[in-house]
Structure 1
């Protein structure tokens, strides 16, 4: 029977593994551990699991599923349950040592808005390791940014021309194939149902997300198709494309041409011929922009995949690259951890506004602020929003928060940016792409085939998912739980893989053409 050390962080506690059982105590202050395998009722626990404050009985009183929590000491109703070193909720009944802790006996401790105070910042992002790549092979853009792909993106101002956009993309891709045009990674139409009968902020959101997508560095050129009579007027959208090379854009309204398919294909071919001259060139790692996302999380997400992505965030920030973290509701209950890392008092204030304004969004729509986690999350072992959030924000690592941006805005500075957005996988991943992310790191414990306009690296929190869904998963973070794995070296290997993806290695979402967008609809429709 061997005890090994979880090297996920300097304050991590022991991991005990035997052929029958594996328990992970994330932080020494925790009064719970996570079952890495299903533990049956009546199982005799080993006597040498000594991680403080363990006071386990010899026998489990009830089954504990994989990914779920068990008490490390007898706890009373009203006690706080501690995981990740922080409270994740309050017990509603007494729990014996070894007892299963989940939705039946644990409730959230969160309620409405909170008061926050800034205490200053006294650290930085550290130095970039000398044994990691300093460059990737990317596509330099006229505005100084660099893409990880060179694709023609076809966007539409309104859902009325969705089918025309799709037909043009298909014909343009056929042209690329027939002409054997080099250095073009694909032609894609990213359609949506909005743009008509929208008002105010709702219309502004649609317009800003489309503008952000058009200016993503992975789009070597953009064709935008309007109808002509929609609220989301093409001329207004074009005025917001200040970061896009004018030579790399074509646009028209379908109502103003005889044959929109013919007009669109002609414009697409012009752009493709320009793009054919683009070539991958060495670009500094600082030109990368990572979007961090989790979806279908389970009890292992906060132990493996999210901390792994957090290490990538730290490496990227130390190299001067951009790191973007969103899903505002999944910061609730963990927001003070992020606030403590604000670069300035102004950034701290922006984080407070980000969190409280999103809570008001729930309240204004007569919805409970802390309804999360989802049924799938709960089945995987997550009980309260505090628990889910403390695991989710690990995707941002320990990097300093440099700025906060609104939904549809672009990240402007190196380091960690917090982006306003909901937790919905498709909406938040699209927002990350519109914010300028050129590669997405998407962690998952339950699995999803979803993919987005930029390479979407799917990272499984457990090895069983990676084995079961090889057409979905690109990287198995569950391997971190194997004996003898050095987590720092594991993260560096993952970073090298990401550099290969940035340089052209295709992800599963690209191979299987799982590429789409979703826009946040949160207003009135006429």
Structure 2
């Protein structure tokens, strides 16, 4: 990989994109494949500037076809990088997918630090520089003012849910106030029979939620005999306003639901005085996630989110990206943007530790994308990873954090976590993300504690699932679309969401958490 390639691989569509007039798109000038923007029939000629070619076979939308003849064993290039090697000769115009392309990844990789090669970023003067947020006593800023109910152990899940359900009815007058955004219980099955690091991960993840600035107050409900003891959990939450916390063990009170309702009433009275105020965009924390990707994800939705990440990083805000295994095959792009030698070393350790996690569990490190991803046109892990990391933009990597830890550095932070949508999105929230940007090519109704902005990679999905999708990034491929202007419009929309405009997951009340269980259960 050359220095130029290591520095980044962000998609740069033309200022006035004419992609919608084309049947295909060459993502990067070095690429030897094209991406079909619509389904192609066998023998269908391609328009200029590829009019010397015709599709040799049928090619589904989002899939690849060869721009030039590719010999067996030759690298196949997309985003300007190798996404694998041809397993047989491929003719120009031929469909390129699992039948003739395979990963080139295997074994271990030697990494070396050659200095930070990230480009300089600037925040446009014509974009808003503030939003209406909730300033907390510790200086953090939330985008919502909600009361969260967090339980130490799965044994009290139903009790926590009953408290939330009854509280919404009992305190309807307070909830009618515009400055209280809701009461939500986030339940989970863990906290008992866990040991060592596994227990610590659960405790740390829950502590991150308890300290989240979107929670104007928190009720913590324990049982009493669980491994995840309430006292230890509270000790793991140093960055909270103790007046906004109520906690008790169900075994130590007569009626846990009645006790919980009373505690919620006290907390809501405190929250009733909270007001939104103008806060600089540097106070935003964005969590970036993709789920159910397709062949357009890296071209539209992920690229849009990456440009947004660059805007926020330039403004001094925080951007958090996770899904460690979806960096495999593209990790050197981030390594070339490490702020210093220590961040580089931390990233190498993060990647190698996660690869070892796969090996310890006797799973292939370089597994191909899921069946859904393959149907959408993604063939190899390199291709999926290069598309996925578009969400990280081109900013300097300032910090590497482990699962359950919180982001504290302005700029781009990489967070340890699996690709699983629920687990990684919960980890992003616990890391401090006050908005989640979730890109998808196939759609999902999932939502999480922080407002979850669903961004469709293609306009068909946005039209079919308006109850899931908040923003249609497929519009980036329309005639005359200006990528920079489109990103500015999206950034303004995010500031509206940060200021209180509800997302589809909030309207549908799709909110949940999932904890990464990776240890022994007694």
TM-score category, normalised to shorter length: over 0.9
Match of 2:35 in 1: 34
Match of 1:49 in 2: 49
1:39-188 to 2 correspondences below 5 Å: 39-46=40-47, 48-50=48-50, 58-121=53-116, 123=118, 125-179=120-174, 180-188=176-184
Q: Deviations over 1:60-116 (max 9, x none)?
A: 221000000000001111011000000000111111000001111111111132110
Equivalent of 2:441 in 421, 437, 445: 445
For 2:346 and 2:30, the matched residues in 1 are separated by 30
1:200-215 to 2 correspondences below 5 Å: 200-215=196-211
Taking a change above 3 Å as real, the CA distance of residues 126 and 475 of structure 1, as seen in their structure-2 partners, is same
Taking a change above 3 Å as real, the CA distance of residues 203 and 282 of structure 1, as seen in their structure-2 partners, is same
Match of 1:425 in 2: 421
| 8 Å CA contact 1:27, 1:85 repeated in 2 | yes
SS of residue paired to 1:89:
strand
Taking a change above 3 Å as real, the CA distance of residues 102 and 13 of structure 1, as seen in their structure-2 partners, is farther
Which shows bigger deviation, 434-443 or 7-16?
7-16
Equivalent of 2:508 in 499, 509, 512: 512
Equivalent of 1:315 in 311, 315, 321: 311
What's the CA shift for 1:200? 1.1
For 1:504 and 1:427, the matched residues in 2 are separated by 25
1:7-26 to 2 correspondences below 5 Å: 8-9=11-12, 17-18=20-21, 22-26=23-27
What's the CA shift for 1:210? 0.2
What's the CA shift for 1:13? 12
Taking a change above 3 Å as real, the CA distance of residues 13 and 91 of structure 1, as seen in their structure-2 partners, is farther
SS of residue paired to 2:367:
coil
| 8 Å CA contact 1:207, 1:232 repeated in 2 | yes
What's the CA shift for 1:263? 0.6
SS of residue paired to 2:273:
coil
Which shows bigger deviation, 454-463 or 112-121?
112-121
For 1:222 and 1:311, the matched residues in 2 are separated by 34
What's the CA shift for 1:58? 4.3
For 1:15 and 1:106, the matched residues in 2 are separated by 29
What's the CA shift for 1:370? 1.4
For 1:14 and 1:173, the matched residues in 2 are separated by 49
For 2:144 and 2:359, the matched residues in 1 are separated by 41
| 8 Å CA contact 2:16, 2:481 repeated in 1 | no
| 8 Å CA contact 1:16, 1:49 repeated in 2 | no
What's the CA shift for 1:339? 0.4
Q: Deviations over 1:105-140 (max 9, x none)?
A: 111111132110000125565221111111100000
What's the CA shift for 1:171? 1.6
For 2:171 and 2:327, the matched residues in 1 are separated by 43
| 8 Å CA contact 2:322, 2:428 repeated in 1 | yes
SS of residue paired to 1:484:
coil
Q: Deviations over 1:406-456 (max 9, x none)?
A: 000000111100000000000000000000000000000000000000110
Using the size of structure 2 for normalisation, the TM-score is: 0.96
Q: Deviations over 1:453-472 (max 9, x none)?
A: 01100000000000000000
Taking a change above 3 Å as real, the CA distance of residues 386 and 108 of structure 1, as seen in their structure-2 partners, is same
Unmatched segments (≥5 aa) in structure 1: 1-6, 51-55
Which structure has more relative contact order (CA 8 Å, sep 6+)? It is: 2
Q: Deviations over 1:249-272 (max 9, x none)?
A: 010000011100011111111111
For 1:70 and 1:335, the matched residues in 2 are separated by 26
Equivalent of 2:212 in 199, 203, 216: 216
Tell me, yes or no, if structure 1 residue 193 matches structure 2 residue 193.
no
What's the CA shift for 1:201? 1.1
Match of 1:354 in 2: 350
What's the CA shift for 1:49? 1.6
Taking a change above 3 Å as real, the CA distance of residues 304 and 122 of structure 1, as seen in their structure-2 partners, is closer
| 8 Å CA contact 1:324, 1:418 repeated in 2 | yes
| 8 Å CA contact 1:113, 1:359 repeated in 2 | no
Q: Deviations over 1:198-221 (max 9, x none)?
A: 111111111111000111110001
Cα RMSD (Å): 1.6
1:287-436 to 2 correspondences below 5 Å: 287-436=283-432
SS of residue paired to 2:90:
coil
Which shows bigger deviation, 462-471 or 36-45?
36-45
SS of residue paired to 2:468:
coil
Match of 2:7 in 1: none
Equivalent of 1:227 in 223, 226, 237: 223
Paired residue total: 512
SS of residue paired to 1:412:
coil
